[in-house]
Chain A
Amino acid sequence: MKVDRRSFLGLGLGAAAGVALSPVGAKLTDDSSIWTQTWFLTPVPEDGEITFEPSVCSLCPGKCGINVRKITNRPVKVDGLEGYPVNDGGICLHGISAIQYLYDPSRVKTPMKRNGDTFESISWETAISEIKQKLGDIRKSGSASKLACVSGDDKGSVAQLFQRFLSAFGSNNFYTMPNLESALALTAQTMHGEDATIAYDLENAGMILSFGAGLIEGWGSPVSCFKANASKKDRGSKLYQIEARLSNTAANADKWIPVKPGTEADLALGICAVILKEKMFNAEYAQYFGGNFNKFAAMVQNKYSVANVSQTTGVPEAEIAKLANLFVKFNKSKSVAICGRGKANDAVSLKEFAAVHALNCLVGNINQKGGAWILPQNEYLQFPDVVTDDAADKGLSAKQISTSATGFFSKIKATSKPDIEALFVVNANPCHNLHDAKYITDVVKQVPFVVSFSSFMDETAKQADLILPSHTCLEMMQDLPSGSGVTRQVVGLSKPVVDPVFDTKNPGDAIIELAKSFEGSIAESFPWDDLEGCLSEVASDIWDTLSEDGHVVVSDKAPGSLPSVDFSFLAENPATAALAGDNNEYPLILIPIDNMRVAPGAQASSAFAVKTVADTVIKGKDGFIEINPATAKNMGIKDGSEVKVTTPSGSVVVRATYFHGIMPGYIGMVQGLGHDMNNMYVADKGVNVNELITPVFETGSGLDAAFGSVAKISKA
């Protein structure tokens, strides 16, 4: 028997045929494809029990109810909470990304202390003790008023505990970042003399006359506005958008009326003049018009004639008269006028807010269905009086440095001997979000002792001497009152839906701990063990319902009484703040653009949100300016080409994108970009438009009213 070549061939062929006709080949192919999905690098979420935890989102002023889906205690998805009075199941893209903030690469993981140009980790005990030591020295030197605090807002117990700490310490220098709620409260105070806020019944309004308010760009309480906007067709409601640029809201409106930015107040007063001249104002409500109404009426008809206003605003005369008629006579139900450009958390002008509110007063929609409601401030927190000692009394007798956060930074200046010895920053990022951000950063650098309570190593935290990291939205218990133009006054309770990922604390607990570390009156002003203990006492009227149901509806109806109207402020025809800089040197005007997908607040956008931004806003790391093709072609600038944008505050290189929806002579840049953080998904993308805008302060209110900046561009 010979074994030859053919035998081997036979063996091989036989084996191959045997295997081919057995299931081995097909089965192994299938199995190996599944096997590749089980490699250890493939992320596979754990299976487990699914639970839902209701809470309230604190990422923006909207304060929406959320429902967090968890699998074995791990949050995996955030939904809108059905039935919550503010958003009723709706949610925005930032809300659904709340989980990403938990694991954000730029989170501050432990308390940190500056050591030269770097930071080192320290314990909470050491951090609190160091702050106590520094602040104790400041008080001993009789300079209690030289402690300041910049907060995202002044609503809710956490912000009010910081304000209380300053009062107990002896300082009036508590500032909030610019926001819609503050502007509305100031308007209510100015026009009605009441400690109140203004809310807009948009979901029942017949005609919404919006002076730049980005109803679908994140104005007010975003989801609530989305819903009101989405239902307007069914209700027969109309939206007239007065805005310099064809924003998404303008594109979605029934009519877009382009206007020169910064002249919205003039247009509102021009419409008032037509209403008064034609005697179309609401005679019934007019009996509540006090304080200089006649003077106001005479002033607007004299100074804001249709011809004058048309000249100032660029809106045709006929259009102004038509708007006035439509606003008064819209037949479905009451018309309402709203204002605050974009998200209204940038520069605001009291003149503009008051002028637009005057329209609401003239048409008589105050406290009416579909109108503007003057609601008393939601005073559900009843703190006991602050206990003060001599040092505190002395400090509190000193005048507040400014009336606005931007004004405060502008006044303390970057000198070797600043007016401030210590600064707390909580839920705010002034070094990125205030105008002239680089200047603000320089000022903060000069403050001898800066304590940041940020969750992230953001632009302001980087300048701090100590960082006491806060929980993020999903880790924190806090009360969150609604506001920002929402008619339903709701107090929501944000609950920790997950254990803290890092060694962070609730800033409310941290400030109580710090206060208690002092002896005497400061500790006496904080008799609670923690924020929850504090809330259960100071909100005792609603605490049981709040802690059980997660929210309390304080009121959801228009007040029965009608407030009187004081036109004194407007009757004086306050000056409109003009932009700083020479128009000849800087022939263009740069305006910031609010984009719903980009968060311009204390917390930068999430990685997910950044991924959703169009490539005419960010492309790779490049930022863009929008420019009208007519303007661009005059300057020889091509679509997509690099340009250098220069303003009195600085210059940046970005790319140009043609947009027919922006008026010739104007350029627009999305705000909320250009972050300098350790987060590869968010940082170094685009540029920070706030670095290019010089603040201008409105006479009287002291608010930063810079709606943009004069600018010039050249090929880069």
Chain B
Amino acid sequence: MNEIEKTEDCCGHGGEGCSDMEKKARDDKGLGMGVIFFIVAFAVCFLSGWLVFPKLLYSSKEQPFNFDHALHVSEMDGCDSCHYLREDGTYNGIPTLESCMECHDVEPLGETEDEAIFCEKYVATETEVPWLVYSRQPDCVFFSHAAHLNGKNPMDCVSCHGHIGESEKCKPYEENRITGYSRDIWGKNIWGIKKNPWDRMKMDDCAECHLEETGHQGACFQCHK
């Protein structure tokens, strides 16, 4: 006869022959196990959610080769030498190979391994560099750089993109396995908590800034056409 059957024999038929104390002791013991299971399960799931889940959710990819933003910013005098608004108000985004080749050629400009990769693999073969774009928004989002860079109070690049212009190394590109978009949109913090405005690029972040600057968080159709 196992433990459970014994319990039923003793208390299952109206508790004949069992004292109140014994009953209470057994109840407490059952509750105790439940609490232990609760705590263990809670701890495992809570910690997994915080520590393991992010690692499972994002894959890490390296850029085709390292790009030294700091060097280029100093050489080219600012972000807008390569990332600029066209005359018609559209934004060029990541420069094309043709833009890069305005300075670079098949012969490397520098001696770094990255420069060699760029020249051999892309310039020589006239292949566009498949850059992984940290700030690419989902296709359902329309964002106008012109609206944010022109006008009375133009924003600076750092407000949204952070200090990427000062970086010498490209950080790994973390891709969300479910959505296919960059981790930088949601933010490094898995709970979405940010310290700086550029830590996240979600809709709430846009709305927060719009509310602050314009007094209204904006309407749906402004970004979702």
Contact = CB atoms under 8 A, between A and B. Distances in A.
B96 A15 contact: no
A441 B89 CA distance: 51
B155 interface: no
A19 B47 CA distance: 9
19 contacts: A2-B29, A4-B33, A6-B34, A7-B37, A9-B34, A11-B40, A14-B37, A14-B38, A14-B43, A15-B41, A17-B45, A18-B42, A18-B45, A23-B53, A23-B192, A24-B49, A31-B179, A35-B179, A37-B139
A18 B44 CA distance: 7
Contacts of A34: 138, 178-179, 181
Interface of A: 1-19, 21-24, 26-28, 30-32, 34-35, 37-38, 42, 44, 49-50, 52
Contacts of B138: 34, 37
B220 interface: no
Contact of A22 (B3, B31, B34, B50): B50
B158 interface: no
A15 B139 contact: no
B179 A10 contact: no
Nearest to A3: B33
A83 to B, nearest CB: 14
B49 A18 contact: yes
A303 B129 CA distance: 82
Given A14-B39, A18-B44, A52-B88, A1 B179 contact: no
B170 interface: no
B180 A38 contact: yes
B167 interface: no
A19 B30 CA distance: 24
Say what secondary structure dominates the interface of chain B. Answer: helix
Contacts of A44: 139
Nearest to A6: B34
B34 A18 contact: no
Given A2-B33, A4-B33, A22 B48 contact: yes
Query: Can you list the 8 inter-chain pairs with the closest CB atoms, starting with the nearest?
Result: A22-B49, A18-B45, A14-B41, A10-B34, A6-B34, A10-B37, A14-B38, A10-B38
Nearest to B140: A37
Say what secondary structure dominates the interface of chain A. Answer: helix
B100 interface: no
B36 A10 contact: yes
- Residue among B3, B31, B40, B41 with most chain A CB within 10 A: B41
Interface in B9-46: 29-31, 33-46
B57 interface: yes
B195 interface: no
A7 B36 CA distance: 8
A15 B44 contact: yes
Nearest to B185: A34
Given A6-B31, A22-B48, A24-B49, 6 more contacts: A4-B34, A10-B33, A22-B45, A22-B47, A27-B186, A38-B179
Nearest to B50: A22
Given A7-B33, A18-B45, A22-B45, A13 B180 contact: no
Contacts of B3: 2
A239 to B, nearest CB: 35
A58 B139 CA distance: 34
Nearest to A47: B93
Contact of B49 (A5, A23, A30, A52): A23
B176 interface: yes
Given A2-B3, A23-B50, A38-B179, A15 B45 contact: yes
A22 B46 contact: yes
Contacts of B33: 1-4, 6-7, 10
Interface string B78-92: 000000001010100
Contacts of A42: 139
A23 B45 CA distance: 11
Contacts of B96: 49
Contacts of B223: none
Contacts of A28: 178
Given A6-B31, A31-B179, A11 B37 contact: yes
Contact of A11 (B38, B140, B176): B38
A35 B180 CA distance: 8
Nearest to B53: A24
Nearest to B33: A7
B71 interface: no
A49 B88 CA distance: 13
Contact of A14 (B42, B190, B192): B42
A6 B90 contact: no
A37 B181 CA distance: 12
Contacts of B40: 11, 14
B43 A18 contact: yes
B86 A50 contact: yes
B186 A14 contact: no
A23 B55 CA distance: 13
A6 B30 contact: yes
